[in-house]
C-alpha cells in the first residue's frame, strides 16, 4: 500500500519547477540534507571510527572538541556573477541556518532529559544544581515534557532544563530577527557561542565519568557534544565568494574619492605598498559620503552584514579570479574598514590555466609580506578551480596543471613555514573535475594533504552523497579513509620522464582545444545550434544566471551549462577535446612513448585516474546521437564542422584505448559497463525526443497540425496550463525540460 501511495503521489506531482528558485530556496533545500541525514549521520559515523580505533588497540574515543569533519556552505554567500545574492539574502540565509540549528539542538536536549534520569552526581554538578534552584526563573515556556519545575533529586535534568530554556530563548530571538529585524529578547539571555552550550554538557559528562557512569556519558550525551562541536549555533559556516574585479572597483572608488589617482592604473607593487600602509595604520579611508555605484555599494554592504552577524556564521572569504597578492590585501583592508571584529580567513581561488601556473609565485609574494605572514599565524587556505580551468584549457591540461600547482604551492608554503590547506573546487561531472571520491583523493600528489582536505560537494551531486543516511555514512567514510590512506601510504610520485612527457603533450592538447573552442569562428554558432544551451535557462535549476556577463560568449559561460549542454547530446566535447592530438603527437615523435604512457597508466595513480574517468565518459557518449542532433538542428554550412569533430572523437577514443591497453571501452570495469548498458535504451529515447522537440521549438513553421489541435484530455490541459507564459505549442516546453532532466540523470557519474 505504501509503494502504491508513493507511485500515485509521484504521478500527481509536477516534475517541472515553474519558477526559478531564490537563493533562500536553494539554501533551504541544501539545509534539508543536514536535517534529514547529516545531523544524525555524523555521530553514527564517528562511533564507527571509535570502533575502528579500538580494533587496533586505541581505547580512547575521538575527542569531541576537535571535529574530525566540518561543514561549510556558500548557498546565499556565493555572489560571483550572481546578482540575486544580495547582502539581504546573505543576512536571511545566516539567520535561517541559525534557526534550524537551534531547533535541532533543542530537540536533542529534550531527548537527553529523558535519558539522564540518574540521581547520583559529582559535587561540582550538585553545586551548579543548587545555584540554579536558588535562581528565579523568568516566565513559563510551555514545553510538551518536563514543563513543571524539575526536582533537585534529578540533577542532570535540572542542568539540561536550564540549557533548554536558554536554547529556547536563542531560537525565539533568531525567529524574531528573521521576521521583523528586531527582538525583545536580550542577547544576554541567549547562547552566543557553542562554547556556552558545551560548558554545562561537559559538566554532565565529567560528572558521569567521576561517578562510574562512563558508559552512559559515552552514549547519547557524547553524540550531542559532537554535534554541538561540529555544527555550533550556525549549523554550517557560510563562505562568501566574490570576484576580484569587484573589489578593485571598490578600491577605485575610494582612491578617486581620496584624489590619489586611479587604483586600476597602479602597478602591483604600488597597490601592495599603499594597501600595506593603510593596513598598518588606523585612519578610516572613507565615510558615508563616499560616491559609489550600486555595484560598489553592494560589495561594501556585504562586508557590513558580515560585521553585524555573529562571527561564527561565516567561514572563508573566497576571491575568485585571484591573480596577485593585492587581491588578498584588498579584502583584508575592507574587512577592517567595515569593522569586522573577527575577520574571515581570505582564500584566493586560482581558476584559469594561467592563474594556476602563476599561483605558486603569487603565494610566494604574499608570504614574503611580513604583515600578512604574521596575520595568518602560520595557516593559509588556497582554492583550486577545476571547472573553469577545464573550460579554459581542456580536461587533460587542466588536471595536469592542478597537479603541479598543488606540488609547487605546498613547497612555497613549507619554505615560509606555513601550513597550507588545499580547497579542491571539484564539480560533479568529469568535465568539471568530478569522479569517485576515493580515487580522486588517492590520485593527488604526495605531501599535499597532510591529514586535512577541503572539497566541494556540488549541488548536482549532493543527493548522491547525502540523500539518504546510508549514503551520508558512506560519503563520510570515503573521505576519511582516503585522506588517511593518502597520508599513511602516499601515492607514487611521477618519474622525471613521465613529467617531461606530460609537460610536452599538454600544450598540444591546450592548443587543439582552444583552436576549436575559442579561435574557430564557426564554433559558437555550431555550439548554440547543436546543443540546448540557449534553452537551458528554462529549467529553473538554480538562482544563478548561466553567464557571468549576459553579453559574453563561451568565455563568460559558466562551467555547469557548458558541460551540461554537451552532456545532453552525448558528445561530451569538453572532456576529450585535445587529448587525441596530444597522444598522437607523442606517438609521432617517438613510438616508444606508447610504452611510456602505458607504464604511466599502470603505475601512476594520477594518470590512471585521469584516463579511467575519460574512458568512462566515452562509455556514456554516442557519436551517432550527436550526428542526429547535427542532422536535425545544424545548418548545411556547419555539417562538415560536425563531421570533423566526430572524427576527432573516434580518433581520441581509439588512442585512449591504446594507452590504457584495452581492446574495448571499460574493459577493466565490467560492473560499470553493465550499469551504463542498462541505462542506454532509456537515455536514447529521451535524446530522440529532445532533438525533435528542439527542432520544432526553433522552427515553429514545422509544428504539425496535430500538435496545434485543441487538447481534449482535461488533466493534460490542466498540466499544460501550469506554464501559460510559454510561447511554444502546448506541452512542448515541458517535453524539452523533462528530456533534459532525464538525460542529465542518465549521464551522472557512476562508480
Give the bridge partners for 78, in sequence order: 241
Q: Is 391 a catalytic residue?
A: yes
Q: Helix crossing, 623-633 with 639-660: angle to 10°? A: 170
C-alpha cell read off for 330: 584588498
How many Cα atoms are found within 13 Å in the side-chain-facing hemisphere of 261? 8
Count other Cβ atoms within 10 Å, centred on residue 568: 26
C-alpha cell read off for 384: 583550486
CA distance 564 to 562: 6
SS3 446: coil
Tell me which H or E stretch contains 691.
helix 670-698
Close Cβ partners of 204 (under 8 Å, ≥ 6 residues apart): 116, 125, 156, 159, 160, 217, 221
What own/partner pairs with CB < 8 Å and gap ≥ 24 does 630-633 have?
630/530, 632/691, 632/692, 632/694, 632/695, 633/529, 633/530, 633/691, 633/694, 633/695, 633/698
Close Cβ partners of 34 (under 8 Å, ≥ 6 residues apart): 71, 100, 104, 231, 235, 236
Options 108, 194, 237, 391, the catalytic residue: 391
Strand order in the sheet with 419-425: 72-73, 237-243, 314-320, 345-350, 379-385, 419-425, 454-455
Residue pair 97/236 in contact by the 8 Å Cβ criterion: yes
* Cα torsion 91, 94, 99, 102: sign: negative
CA distances from residue 414 to 260, 409, 418 in whole angstroms, order as listed: 38, 9, 6
* Residue at grid coordinates 559515523: 45
* Residue at grid coordinates 555547469: 560
CA distance 422 to 427: 15
3-state secondary structure 252-274: HHHHHHCCCCCHHHCCHHHHHHH
CA distance 185 to 169: 7
Backbone angles phi, psi at 634, to 5 degrees: -100, 140
What's the distance, Cα to Cα, between the start and end of the chain in Å?
Answer: 33
Nearest Cα neighbor of 323 from 365, 281, 284, 285 is 365
Nearest Cα neighbor of 242 from 321, 310, 304 is 321
Residue pair 538/736 in contact by the 8 Å Cβ criterion: yes
Q: How far is CA 262 from the centre of its chain?
A: 36
CA distance 502 to 597: 9
Close Cβ partners of 223 (under 8 Å, ≥ 6 residues apart): 43, 47
CA distance 120 to 207: 9
CA distance 584 to 655: 8
CA distance 427 to 459: 9
SS3 117: coil
Backbone angles phi, psi at 345, to 5 degrees: -65, 140
CA distance 249 to 296: 7
Annotated catalytic residues are 391
Amino acid at each position: 500500500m505504501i509503494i502504491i501511495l508513493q507511485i500515485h503521489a509521484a504521478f500527481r506531482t509536477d516534475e517541472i519547477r515553474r519558477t526559478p528558485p531564490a537563493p533562500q530556496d536553494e539554501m533551504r533545500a541544501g539545509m534539508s540534507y543536514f536535517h534529514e541525514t547529516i545531523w544524525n549521520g555524523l555521530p553514527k559515523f564517528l562511533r564507527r571510527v571509535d570502533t575502528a580505533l579500538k580494533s587496533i588497540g586505541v581505547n580512547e574515543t575521538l575527542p569531541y572538541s576537535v571535529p574530525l569533519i566540518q561543514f561549510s556552505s556558500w548557498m546565499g554567500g556565493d555572489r560571483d556573477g550572481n546578482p540575486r545574492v544580495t547582502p539581504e539574502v546573505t543576512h536571511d540565509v545566516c539567520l535561517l541556518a541559525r534557526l534550524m540549528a537551534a531547533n535541532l539542538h533543542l530537540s536533542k536536549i529534550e531527548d537527553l532529559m529523558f535519558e539522564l534520569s540518574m540521581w547520583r552526581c559529582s559535587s561540582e554538578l550538585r553545586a551548579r544544581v543548587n545555584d540554579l534552584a536558588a535562581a528565579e526563573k523568568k516566565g513559563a515556556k510551555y514545553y510538551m515534557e518536563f514543563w513543571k519545575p524539575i526536582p533537585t533529586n534529578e540533577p542532570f535534568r535540572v542542568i539540561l532544563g536550564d540549557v533548554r530554556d536558554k536554547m529556547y530563548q536563542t531560537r525565539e530571538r533568531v525567529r524574531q530577527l528573521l521576521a521583523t529585524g528586531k527582538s525583545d529578547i536580550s542577547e544576554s539571555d541567549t547562547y552566543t557561542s557553542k562554547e556556552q552550550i558545551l560548558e554545562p554538557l561537559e559538566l554532565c559528562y565529567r560528572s558521569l565519568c567521576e561517578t562510574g557512569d562512563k558508559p552512559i556519558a559515552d552514549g547519547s550525551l557524547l553524540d550531542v557534544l559532537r554535534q554541538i562541536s561540529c555544527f555550533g549555533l550556525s549549523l554550517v559556516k557560510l563562505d562568501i565568494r566574490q570576484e576580484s574585479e569587484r573589489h578593485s572597483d571598490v578600491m577605485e572608488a575610494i582612491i578617486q574619492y581620496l584624489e590619489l589617482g586611479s587604483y586600476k592604473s597602479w602597478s602591483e607593487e604600488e597597490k601592495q605598498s599603499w594597501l600595506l600602509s593603510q593596513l598598518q595604520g588606523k585612519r578610516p579611508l572613507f565615510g558615508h559620503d563616499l560616491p559609489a555605484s550600486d555595484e560598489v555599494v553592494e560589495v561594501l554592504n556585504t562586508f557590513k552584514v558580515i560585521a553585524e552577524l555573529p562571527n561564527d556564521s561565516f567561514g572563508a572569504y573566497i576571491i575568485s579570479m585571484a591573480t596577485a597578492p593585492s587581491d588578498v590585501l584588498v579584502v583584508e583592508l575592507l574587512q577592517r574598514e567595515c569593522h569586522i571584529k573577527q575577520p574571515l580567513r581570505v582564500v584566493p581561488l586560482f581558476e584559469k590555466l594561467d592563474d594556476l601556473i602563476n599561483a605558486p609565485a603569487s603565494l610566494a609574494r604574499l608570504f614574503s609580506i611580513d604583515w600578512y605572514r604574521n596575520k595568518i599565524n602560520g595557516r593559509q587556505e588556497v582554492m583550486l578551480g577545476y571547472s573553469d580551468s577545464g573550460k579554459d584549457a581542456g580536461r587533460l591540461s587542466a588536471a595536469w596543471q592542478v597537479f603541479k600547482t598543488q606540488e609547487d604551492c605546498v613547497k612555497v608554503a613549507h619554505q615560509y613555514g606555513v601550513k597550507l590547506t588545499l580547497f579542491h573546487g571539484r564539480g560533479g561531472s568529469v568535465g568539471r573535475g568530478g569522479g569517485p571520491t576515493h580515487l580522486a583523493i588517492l590520485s593527488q600528489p604526495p605531501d599535499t594533504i597532510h591529514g586535512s582536505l577541503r572539497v566541494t560537494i556540488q549541488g548536482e551531486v549532493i543527493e548522491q552523497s547525502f540523500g539518504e543516511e546510508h549514503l551520508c555514512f558512506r560519503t563520510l567514510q570515503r573521505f576519511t579513509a582516503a585522506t588517511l590512506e593518502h597520508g599513511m601510504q602516499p601515492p607514487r610520485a611521477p618519474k622525471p620522464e613521465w613529467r617531461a612527457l606530460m609537460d610536452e603533450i599538454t600544450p598540444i592538447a591546450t592548443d587543439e582545444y582552444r583552436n576549436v573552442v575559442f579561435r574557430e569562428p564557426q564554433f559558437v554558432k555550431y555550439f548554440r545550434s547543436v546543443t540546448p544551451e540557449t534553452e537551458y535557462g528554462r529549467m529553473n535549476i538554480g538562482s544563478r544566471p548561466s553567464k557571468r556577463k549576459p553579453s559574453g560568449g563561451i568565455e563568460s559561460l559558466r562551467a555547469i551549462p557548458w558541460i551540461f549542454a554537451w552532456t545532453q547530446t552525448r558528445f561530451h566535447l569538453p572532456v576529450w577535446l585535445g587529448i587525441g592530438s596530444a597522444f598522437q603527437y607523442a606517438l609521432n615523435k617517438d613510438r616508444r612513448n606508447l610504452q611510456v604512457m602505458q607504464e604511466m597508466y599502470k603505475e601512476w595513480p594520477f594518470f590512471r585516474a585521469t584516463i579511467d574517468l575519460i574512458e568512462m565518459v566515452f562509455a556514456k557518449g554516442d557519436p551517432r546521437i550527436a550526428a542526429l542532433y547535427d542532422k536535425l538542428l545544424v545548418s548545411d554550412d556547419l555539417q562538415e564542422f560536425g563531421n570533423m569533430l566526430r572524427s576527432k572523437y573516434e580518433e581520441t577514443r581509439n588512442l585512449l584505448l591504446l594507452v590504457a591497453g584495452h581492446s574495448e571501452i571499460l574493459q577493466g570495469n565490467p560492473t560499470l559497463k553493465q550499469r551504463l548498458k542498462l541505462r542506454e535504451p532509456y537515455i536514447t529515447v529521451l535524446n530522440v525526443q529532445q532533438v525533435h522537440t528542439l527542432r520544432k521549438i526553433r522552427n515553429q513553421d514545422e509544428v504539425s497540425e496535430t500538435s496545434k489541435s485543441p487538447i481534449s484530455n482535461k488533466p493534460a490541459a490542466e498540466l499544460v496550463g501550469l506554464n501559460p507564459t510559454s510561447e511554444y505549442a502546448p506541452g512542448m516546453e515541458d517535453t524539452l525540460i523533462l528530456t533534459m532532466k532525464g538525460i542529465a540523470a542518465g549521464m551522472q557519474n557512476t562508480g
